[in-house]
Structure 1
Amino acid sequence: MAPREYGQYDGITRAMELVGERWALLIVRDLLVGPRRYGELAAGLPRIPSNVLAARLKELQAAGVLRRAPRSRVVIYELTPYGRELEPVVLALGAWGFKAMGDPREEQILSPDAMTISLRTAFRPQVAATLPATAYAAHVGPAELRIQVDGPTLDVTREDGPADLAFATGPGIHRLLTGELAPARAIETGVVEVLRGPGDLLGRFAETFHLAA
């Protein structure tokens, strides 16, 4: 199915024609974290039908938003420079959407890539610059994210490594990021499970990452 046309001539209309189809921006969100194989994209978007994923990838490639690239005998998808220009748009849209999230439904998941983009959205570099450098290990489902904060610099990778605080969490972490739950209460209620390190470092995490509800 060809992307829809709205019959209007302005920048917002053209943007919607390029990335406004269902699932398109979520594909862009995940590729903002890094290049992905087809199977990795499908795993990160478990409800997307395979024919829709294939169609969206073709449409986004035709629009110059992403490209296919061979890597070590496999094909990966990565954003073009034009596609990466969507990053501030995606982060701003995420911050706006945070205000209307409510509580997660039982069937909703938090993928590692979605968590990564949420952290980029919530990161406060001015606050982080006043705090000691800290490494966090966040277990999101079966994946572990290493979150390195060094002054105003944030680096989130999907790899193992030393961490000052390791914790497990899920969709409910949005209540910590918005300040609805204090760090101690997030631990008490099981929204965050401390795995290693002093639990009071979660307070530093909450200072560093915050979104207005």
Structure 2
Amino acid sequence: MSPRTRRSYDQYCSAARALDLVGDRWTLLIVRELLAGPRRYTDLHADLPGVSTDVLASRLKDMERDGLATRRRLPPPGAAHVYELTGRGRELLPVLQALGRWGAAELGERRPTDAVRAHWFALPLLRALEAVGGSVVEGLVEVRLEEGDFHVRVGAVEGPVYGDGPAPAEPDARLVLDAGTCAAIGRGEAGLAQAVREGRVEVTGEGPLAKALREA
């Protein structure tokens, strides 16, 4: 598939230039998925329900061309190609977090047609953890929902900021909560510390983050 011709707003404006790169449908959601680290094409397609294979391939090519993502081959025994964000692409993390904060009011109750993945709660929860822990607290947090487990890396300055499944190492804190509470925290209807005090979030662990959550 040959790269498509880029469409531009042709405006000398930084917002317009940014939208030239990430304003296409699906691009920012691909970034959301790649913030978890290197992903295979098949995994991206599975976690982006509704995207066609042609559109996903086109967006990934655009992101490679624009310096937001790279494609590389894993060494044996994996031997699969994966996509991952560049440093420039990773700079979109606060953009996605701000967009999520702005859009939280539109979330409402889950609709029957809404797909859901546990790790889609990672970025809003990461923002809430950062607010509780402050800039001095870093750590690995494992989160358990009925929909599945994921983990987040609070204060990470490079590499993945979250991942699907249990934490790859002993976490500094474990949180157990339901999706409704997680969504309420993301919408700003409940603070994370408040939810812990009310018993809606169970916190275990002895790391600085666990202590900060229990003491907030």
Give the TM-score, by structure 2 length. Answer: 0.70
Please say if 1:83 is aligned against 2:89: yes
Match of 1:52 among 47, 52, 55: 55
CA deviations 1:77-121 (Å, max 9, x no partner) are: 001111112122121111111133222212213323422222223
Give me the identity figure in percent: 30
Please say if 1:5 is aligned against 2:8: yes
Partner of 1:38: 41
Distance in 1 of aligned mates of 2:109 and 2:96:
21
Amino acid at match of 1:49: S
Please say if 1:173 is aligned against 2:182: yes
Distance in 1 of aligned mates of 2:35 and 2:14:
22
Please say if 1:107 is aligned against 2:113: yes
SS of alignment partner, residue 137 of structure 1: strand
Structure 2, gaps ≥5 residues long: 205-209
Could you tell me whether the CA contact under 8 Å between 2:142 and 2:149 is conserved in 1?
no
1:47–1:170 distance in 2 versus 1, CA, 3 Å: farther
SS of alignment partner, residue 82 of structure 2: strand
CA deviations 1:188-213 (Å, max 9, x no partner) are: xxxx8x8x97xxx9xx58x6xxxxxx
SS of alignment partner, residue 29 of structure 1: helix
What is the alpha-carbon root mean square deviation over aligned residues? 3.6
1:40–1:87 distance in 2 versus 1, CA, 3 Å: same
The within-5 A match list for 1:1-213 is: 1-72=4-75, 73-125=79-131, 127-128=132-133, 136-139=142-145, 141=147, 143-146=148-151, 156-160=162-166, 167=176, 169-170=178-179, 173-177=182-186, 178-179=188-189, 183=195, 204=213
* Structure 1 residue 44, shift from structure 2 partner: 0.9
Distance in 1 of aligned mates of 2:106 and 2:61:
31
Structure 1, gaps ≥5 residues long: 208-213
Give the TM-score, by structure 1 length. Answer: 0.71
User: What is the aligned residue count?
Assistant: 193
Amino acid at match of 2:60: L
